[in-house]
Amino acid sequence: MADGDGVRLERDGTGIVAIVLDRPKKQNAVSSAMWRALARYCDAIEADPSVRVVIVRGAPPAFSAGADIAEFPEVFADEEAARRYNDLVQDALARLEGMSVPTIAQVAGSCIGGGCGLALACDLRMAAADARFGITPARLGLAYSLGDVKRLVDLVGPARAKDILFSARLLDAEEALRIGLVDRVVSPEELDGTVRAYARSLLDLSGSSHRRIKRIVRLVLDGAVAETEESRMLRDRAVSHPDFVEGRRAFLEKRRPRFT
């Protein structure tokens, strides 16, 4: 499914959907039109109960080189233009981060600036050994949005986040794995198969549990340190969901559950 704005959807009929950044000649630099398309696709996926896992990737050879610099004279023309553009970007990232199903960034090649922000908004990041990461507002005299900084701090801690942002340096995949920026590194040839195998493995498990887990983790990241009314509801109501009925029955019958 093509959007015509540099983003397309790939469906394989199994419940796995890929959001593909598709401007390979521009290293998948993300334009304003692409941010809008991304937000639309996130809404469409969230409304589709058949979707169980989302993969975000770039058309080879890169994940994304970041924001489309060709747009800078327009989107950063003045403070009001910058506010509109930054709000557009943050809206798209918030929709991706807020999706109820698991999301996986499949990172090969460059993952820079806004591209790195896109990967940070996913639940997991799996990278090829040739991937390179960087967040570079200090090279341009810009600031980084609070939402993006919080995602980075949540993953690597405040000191490492400051180092990445202060230095604007590029990190190789090995360092990104060591500090927690990515979750798995494999050879470039293995990346697609590794991500797909992991996504398929989630299809055998409870989608209801995945949604509840994502929401509870979000409560923790947003500052909850004790049970809240929402977390209790998510925990307690799980026992009346058909997935738990099937999971319990399958456990007692010593067979694999068939979640719907």
46 domain residue, yes or no = yes
- The pLDDT assigned to 1 comes to 43
d(CA 158, CA 111): 20
- Whether residue 105 lies inside any domain: the answer is yes
Q: Which residue has the tokens 């029955």?
A: 249
Phi, psi of 152 (to 5 degrees): -65, -45
- The two beta strands, 171-172 and 184-186, are unpaired
- pLDDT of 4 higher than 60: no
| Residue 111, helix vs strand vs coil | strand
Mean pLDDT of the chain: 96
pLDDT at res. 2: 45
> How confident is residue 36, by pLDDT bands cut at 50, 70 and 90?
very high
- Supply the CATH number for residue 18's domain: 3.90.226.10
Domain assignment present for residue 244? The answer is: yes
If asked whether residues 167 and 192 sit together in one domain, one would say: yes
pLDDT mean over 144-171: 97
Whether residue 196 is found in the same domain as residue 224? no
Number of domains composing the chain: 2
Classify residue 257: in a domain, yes or no. Answer: no
Region 207-236: mean pLDDT is: 96
Please report, to the nearest 10 degrees, the dihedral formed by the alpha carbons of residues 117, 75, 138, 155 taken in order: -10
Cross-strand bridge partners of residue 128: 186
The reply to whether 40 and 13 lie within a common domain is: yes
Per-residue pLDDT, averaged over 134-156, amounts to 96
| Region at 142 (left for phi over 0; alpha for psi -120 to 50; beta for the rest) | beta
In a domain, 182, yes or no: yes
Which tokens is 189 given? 């040839």
Rg of the chain on CA atoms, in Å: 19
Range of the domain at 139: 7-203
Cα distances (angstroms) measured from residue 150 to each of 134, 157, 196, 241: 16, 9, 28, 33
In whole angstroms, give the CA distance from residue 215 to residue 209: 10
Residue 135's nearest CA partner among 178, 167, 103 is: 167
Q: Is residue 59 part of a domain?
A: yes
Contact partners, residue 169, CB within 8 Å, separation at least 6: 134
> What would the pLDDT profile of 172-214 be if each residue is shown by its tens digit?
999 999 999 999 999 999 999 999 999 999 999 999 999 999 9
Residues 223 and 129 in one domain: no
Domain CATH number, residue 226: 1.10.12
Confirm whether 1 is domain-assigned: no
Q: Is residue 2 in some structural domain?
A: no
